[in-house]
Structure 1
Amino acid sequence: MTTLGLYIALMSAGLKGELQYRLNFVIWVAMGVIYQLTGFVFIWVLLSRFQELAGWSLGEVAFLYGLRLLGHGLQLLGFGYIHMLEIYVREGLFDRFLVRPVPVLLHIIVSRFPVGAIGDFGSGLVLFLVANSLVAVDWSPPALAFASLTVIGAALLEAGLKLMVASLSFRFLSTRSIVFVVDDVFNNFGNYPLKIFGGVAQFVLTFGIPVAFIAYLPATVLLGRTSELAVSPVLAYLAPLAGAMVFGLALLVWRHELPSYQSAGH
């Protein structure tokens, strides 16, 4: 069986296992929806008073927000348990992944089905579709392809950054604070047009922690707002590639750091 086939089989089995506890399943999905939409309610209240945010209308901000949530939700669905690596290493549970006939990283990713991610992705999809009715986007085949690649690229970028941080657990054991910082940056800055931040912040959020590639840069392409960018519009059109590059780099970091692991019995 190929790695992809194994991944699909294990995730399907995990989903079936979670569905055995239907009330718990519904609660987790609902929690994901409530958590994500609460953030947008804040923006809606803000824009109801001021009408626009850095020149962006409510519909445009909702479009950006929904695009970001789609990528985030897909990342959680596909790679939701990468952050558990630190716990497995610190508590001496990582050894069990080394002795099973499944690729180690794949086994960690599919160790449990991330039920709450369904709520994240679903709320992002609903918000994106509603926002689409409020903005003028020409959904030509190239635009549809670009949007689809953007969501996939966003998922890979976020997963790649988390995998890089998680891989450091083999050396430093505790990386939780770094994971929280990465999550906070994505949650606090990824849902807004970067124009509202200063030049230094825009630079850091583009080339430091590349939040801009998640939704803002692609949204400017789809909404026809690339003229406002402080960087070359070429970067906006190439934004989906950033995810593949970051995830590829993360795999190299993972392979480099894995030999540093020392079993709890040594």
Structure 2
Amino acid sequence: MAEVVRALRLYWRLQRAAMRGALQYRLNLVIGIAAGVAYQGSGFAFVWVVMHTFPAVGGWSLREIAFLYGMRLTAHALYVLPFSSLIGLDWLVREGELDRVLLRPLNPLVQIMAKRLGVGQLGDLLAGLVLLVVALPPLGPASILFCLAAVVGGALVEAAVSLALASLALRTWNTLGVRAFADDLFSKFGSYPMSVFGGAAQWALTFVLPVAFVAYVPASVLLDRTGELNVPAPVAYGSPLLGVALFALAYRIWSRQLRHYQSTGT
């Protein structure tokens, strides 16, 4: 536990230094955040246009879809902000740069996470929070706490899938394609109620790739729509814990793959 606390403290210091560096180019920072907001805003604008043609999608109203979209986007941003550097892991392995990481007296994953600050993802986070707050239904204190836990849990679900797939680069050297495919599934299907998809797709997006648990399952709990879920209500109420369990499993996979890492000799 002491090692974990030390690693997180160092990560926080490195990210603060990265933020100070980003603030030296404030116009670039503003443009990056604005680009992130515009990109994610255009995605929801498409949903808004569709919803003006069809009054409901899968029985969900525009406000409910906006709430679901906001939860998914906020969770995605919370995942990408610390883990965006994983996209460069294949390059680190192929070029032998990971050898340098392993020689330093600091957790290798923390070093990789601290390699870059995702400026555009700050825009994703801002857009997600705005949607979440605007579409938030009337909730009591317990439901608000569940919502916060669900967003963090959703971020951990995405982080777990990304870390588990990225760890395969320690053996195969190239995982960008499969990771891009998984990320595409999360972004394209995670913002809609699973009821709009066919039975097989709905099952796969719940039990094979846990897209539904990022936002759809907890949003259904908060909107009192658990009757349409493919999982029992107690499982839905415990959905934030799935992210913790999956991330612990993904970190175990990462550690195991790291023990078998062999340098390319580049």
Is the shorter-chain TM-score for this pair beyond 0.5, marking a shared fold?
Answer: yes
Would you say the 8 A contact 1:66–1:124 is kept in 2?
Answer: yes
Secondary structure at 2:13 match in 1: helix
- Tell which deviates more after alignment, 123-132 or 18-27: 18-27
Alpha-carbon distance between aligned partners in 1 of 2:96 and 2:230, rounded to the nearest angstrom: 47
Alpha-carbon distance between aligned partners in 1 of 2:33 and 2:58, rounded to the nearest angstrom: 33
- Please list the CA deviations of residues 176-235 of structure 1 after superposition, one character each: whole Å capped at 9, or x if unmatched: 111111111001100000000011111101110000100000001111111122321222
Q: What corresponds to 1:215 in structure 2?
A: 215
Alpha-carbon RMSD across the aligned residues, in angstroms, is: 1.3
Where do residues 28-177 of structure 1 align in structure 2 (5 Å cutoff)?
A: 28-132=32-136, 137-177=137-177
Alpha-carbon distance between aligned partners in 2 of 1:56 and 1:7, rounded to the nearest angstrom: 40
Would you say the 8 A contact 1:218–1:239 is kept in 2?
Answer: yes
User: What is the CA distance between 1:265 and its match in structure 2?
Assistant: 2.2
Alpha-carbon distance between aligned partners in 2 of 1:241 and 1:204, rounded to the nearest angstrom: 20
2:11 matched to 1:24? Answer: no
Would you say the 8 A contact 1:217–1:235 is kept in 2?
Answer: no
* TM-score normalised by length of structure 2: 0.95
User: What is the CA distance between 1:74 and its match in structure 2?
Assistant: 0.6
- Paired amino acid for 1:78: P
- Paired amino acid for 1:206: T
Secondary structure at 2:97 match in 1: coil
- Paired amino acid for 1:3: A
User: What is the CA distance between 1:83 and its match in structure 2?
Assistant: 2.0
User: What is the CA distance between 1:130 and its match in structure 2?
Assistant: 1.4
Q: What corresponds to 2:265 in structure 1?
A: 265
Alpha-carbon distance between aligned partners in 2 of 1:223 and 1:182, rounded to the nearest angstrom: 27
User: What is the CA distance between 1:239 and its match in structure 2?
Assistant: 0.9
Secondary structure at 1:2 match in 2: helix
Would you say the 8 A contact 1:83–1:162 is kept in 2?
Answer: no
- Paired amino acid for 1:261: Y
Alpha-carbon distance between aligned partners in 2 of 1:241 and 1:125, rounded to the nearest angstrom: 22
Unmatched segments (≥5 aa) in structure 1: none
- Paired amino acid for 2:47: I
Alpha-carbon distance between aligned partners in 2 of 1:28 and 1:261, rounded to the nearest angstrom: 35
- Aligned partner of 2:15 among 11, 16, 19: 11
Alpha-carbon distance between aligned partners in 2 of 1:81 and 1:210, rounded to the nearest angstrom: 22
User: What is the CA distance between 1:138 and its match in structure 2?
Assistant: 3.8
- Tell which deviates more after alignment, 44-53 or 225-234: 225-234
Unmatched segments (≥5 aa) in structure 2: none
2:241 matched to 1:237? Answer: no
Identity of aligned residues (%): 47
Alpha-carbon distance between aligned partners in 2 of 1:104 and 1:116, rounded to the nearest angstrom: 24
User: What is the CA distance between 1:20 and its match in structure 2?
Assistant: 1.2
- Paired amino acid for 1:252: R
Would you say the 8 A contact 1:150–1:239 is kept in 2?
Answer: yes
* TM-score normalised by length of structure 1: 0.95
* Deviating 4+ runs (over 6 angstroms): none
- Please list the CA deviations of residues 148-180 of structure 1 after superposition, one character each: whole Å capped at 9, or x if unmatched: 111111111101110111100011101011111
